Structures are given as structure tokens and as C-alpha cells.
Chain A
Amino acid sequence: DTGVSQNPRHKITKRGQNVTFRCDPISEHNRLYWYRQTLGQGPEFLTYFQNEAQLEKSRLLSDRFSAERPKGSFSTLEIQRTEQGDSAMYLCASSLGSPDGYTFGSGTRLTVV
């Protein structure tokens, strides 16, 4: 297992288009988290899954955002009708359910033009 994998690494899209990102966690990890990070800021929590159940969503996650984790394996984060304010690094992390085992992927950098 090579860690948490995120694809694509970079995405440039026009305002109003839909985008989807994928995260493949460490295989034995049951928890999966999505964060967003803008320049000069720390990551901000968006949502998390325990197995296939989405247990919490941040107020940052507007109706244009949706996340899924079918069968408790990989996860997707979709943003509909993208806006320039959505430009950020989207980070995925997975864990076994304790904070000392949190492993992040390298992120997907989204640029909305």
C-alpha cells in the first residue's frame, strides 16, 4: 500500500462546470476525511465517512458539494456549478479511527477560471 492517493493532482475548469475528485484511502482505514485548503490557511474540515456512512458535513459544504464513499472504499467529491471561490487544494485523509494515524494524500489543486 503506497498511502492515500488522490486524482487528479491538478484540475483547471471554467466557472459553471462540474468537477469530480477521487480519493483512494489506505485499504484498512475505515475513516475517510475531506478537507479544503486555501493559500496561507490550514486545512478546513468538509466531511467525513466511517466506512460507507457519511457522518458529518461542515457548514462549508454548500448544496453544490456532494461526497460519496460507495462500499466503504474509495471516495469521490463532486462540485457542481463551480465558482471562482472554489479554487483551493482539496485534501483527503484516512485513518483507523484514532488521530495519530491520520494520513493525508497529496491533494487535488482546483483552479476555477
Chain B
Amino acid sequence: QKEVEQDPGPLSVPEGAIVSLNCTYSNSAFQYFMWYRQYSRKGPELLMYTYSSGNKEDGRFTAQVDKSSKYISLFIRDSQPSDSATYLCAMSSLTGGFKTIFGAGTRLFVKA
């Protein structure tokens, strides 16, 4: 079993839809939870960062962490064609030297 599980999709939605992306994990030592966005042939770009459990909002993006369930989510409101990319969940811990463990990534397509 992988430490981080993420549905690879692809996920196709119409412009303006609310997108929900999710990951589960098994290592309870993870303290830092991130979402990265990756466009084709580019490196991942940090989108959202959350420490421990709770919610964080940034514009159209909301990240949620539920450590009791080992479940994290990213919501995208009013999705745009420019949001079409691969979204990677990622986790790390202080004891792990902040090396980051990534999910497989979910490919998202937003249709105009």
C-alpha cells in the first residue's frame, strides 16, 4: 500500500463547476499538507499549504485536512480552463527532514 493514495482521474468538468480533489494517507507522522499544480512538462508549483488539521482558503481554492480520518481535500470554485493541469497532493513531517511524499496526481480538464 502506498503512503499516499490519490485517484489519477482524469476528471473533466465544465467551466464554472466546483472541483473536489482528494487524497488519503497512512502515515500519522505527517504534519504538513500541500497541494501542488503541475502543467505539462513543467515542475510542480506550490498551490496550498496547511499545517495539521483545519481549513485554509486562498481565492478560489480551499484546502481541508482531517488528520483523524487521514484525508485531505482541495476544492476549486468557479473553475476555469486555465485550471486544467495535474494536481498533486503532498505531505511531509519535521522528523522526515521535510522530504515530501506525493500522491500520483489527478489530471483535471476544465472545458470552456
A residues with a Cβ closer than 8 A to B are 4, 31, 33, 40-45, 48, 50, 55-56, 91, 93, 95, 97-100, 102-107, 109
Contact B97–A42 (Cβ < 8 Å): no
Interface size class of B (residues with CB under 8 A): 20 to 34
- B32–A106 CB distance below 8 A: no
Q: Is the CB of B98 within 8 A of A104?
A: no
- CB A18 to nearest CB in B, in angstroms, measures 24
B100 touching A99 by the CB < 8 A rule?
Answer: yes
In the complex, chain A residues whose CB is within 8 Å of the CB of B29: none
Residues of B within 8 A of A48 (CB): 97, 99
Please tell me if the beta carbons of A40 and B104 are within 8 angstroms of each other in the complex: yes
B49 touches A99 (CB 8 A): yes
Can you name 11 A-B residue pairings with CB atoms under 8 Å? Answer: A4-B43, A41-B104, A42-B4, A43-B100, A44-B102, A95-B98, A99-B34, A99-B92, A103-B46, A104-B44, A104-B45
Residues of A within 8 A of B62 (CB): none
CA distance A57 to B8 in the complex (A): 27
- Contacts A91-B43, A104-B44, A106-B43 given: A99-B32 contact, CB under 8 Å? yes
Please tell me which one of the listed residues B43, B97, B98 contacts residue A105 in the complex, with CB atoms under 8 A apart: B43
On whether the beta carbons of B46 and A45 are closer than 8 Å, the reply is: no
- CB of B88 closer than 8 Å to a CB of A: yes
CB of B107 to closest CB in A, whole Å: 9
CB distance from A22 to the nearest CB of B (A): 15
Query: Which residues on A sit within 8 Å (CB–CB) of B105?
Result: 40-42
Question: Is A100 a contact partner of B49 (Cβ separation < 8 A)?
Answer: yes
Counting from the closest, the 10 A-B pairs by CB-CB distance are A42-B102, A104-B43, A100-B49, A99-B32, A45-B99, A99-B92, A106-B43, A99-B98, A43-B102, A104-B44
* B62 nearest CB across to chain A (Å): 17
